[in-house]
Each structure stands twice: as structure tokens, then as C-alpha cells.
């Protein structure tokens, strides 16, 4: 069965410091990985997906199949990055997403 692991419940960094939110997955097939973000009092929204290989709001994530990881990175954290981040795995071509438990990112001044 597929599984997504986000080992950190809370990550606290200072403004301007690099950020890395960890995500590991377990799936024997070809995965599709996503990062979703939930800002305070807002609904869950897509941040980025590995297929598009894009940078959104300065965030990037590279799929490493050897390490089964999809860590989210940003070189310089900003205060507005404070939010809950969820890594998600889509399998089998369907619409089902398997989410991790989330990491709360707190950017301090």
C-alpha cells in the first residue's frame, strides 16, 4: 500500500534562512508527487507537482526515486511562507491522493 511520511510536525526557521520540508513515500509503481499548502484560515491549495518541474513562490521540489523522496526547498524563507504543508502521492492514474500528516512551517523574524 502507498504511504507518505513527513517526519517533522513543526519546522521553525528564521526569515532569510533556507527551508527544507521533508517528504518520503512508499509506492512500488511510478508515483506522482505533489505539495499542497494551507495558509491560516484558507483552504488547502496546490503548491506544485513534480511533473511540471516548476518553481512556485520560490519553492522547488525534486523527485528522487532512489531515495523515494520529494523534499520541498526554498533558499530564503519569507514570513508569508508560514503555513501547513502537505506532501501527497497520486497513484494508478486515478484521482485519489494519499497525504502525509503535514509539516507546520513557522518563519520567525
Partner 1 sequence: ETGVTQSPTHLIKTRGQQVTLRCSSQSGHNTVSWYQQALGQGPQFIFQYYREEENGRGNFPPRFSGLQFPNYSSELNVNALELDDSALYLCASSLQGQGYGYTFGSGTRLTVV
Applying CB under 8 A, the residues found at the interface with partner 1 are 4, 6, 9, 32, 34, 43-46, 49, 51, 86, 88, 90, 93-102
Minimum CB separation from partner 1 for residue 28, in Å?
18
Taking the complex as a whole, how short is the minimal distance between the CB of residue 102 and partner 1, in angstroms?
A: 5
Give least dist CB 6 to partner 1, A.
8
The three three-digit cell numbers of residue 91, written as one number: 497513484
Cα distance between residue 61 and residue 88, in whole Å? 12
For residue 101, the Cα-to-chain-centroid distance in whole angstroms is: 11
Contacts of 51-60 spanning 24+ positions with Cβ under 8 A = 57/81, 59/35
Tallying the residues shown for the chain, one arrives at: 109
Amino acid at each position: 500500500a502507498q504511504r507518505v511520511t513527513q517526519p517533522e510536525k513543526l519546522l521553525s526557521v528564521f526569515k532569510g534562512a533556507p527551508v527544507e520540508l521533508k517528504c518520503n513515500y512508499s509506492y512500488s509503481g511510478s508515483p506522482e508527487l505533489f505539495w499542497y499548502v494551507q495558509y491560516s484560515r484558507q483552504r488547502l491549495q496546490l503548491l506544485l507537482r513534480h511533473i511540471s518541474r516548476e518553481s512556485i513562490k520560490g519553492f522547488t521540489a525534486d523527485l528522487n526515486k532512489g531515495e523515494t523522496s520529494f523534499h520541498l526547498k526554498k533558499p530564503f524563507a519569507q514570513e508569508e511562507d508560514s503555513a501547513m504543508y502537505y506532501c501527497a502521492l497520486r497513484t494508478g492514474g486515478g484521482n485519489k491522493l494519499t497525504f502525509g500528516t503535514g509539516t507546520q512551517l513557522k518563519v520567525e523574524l
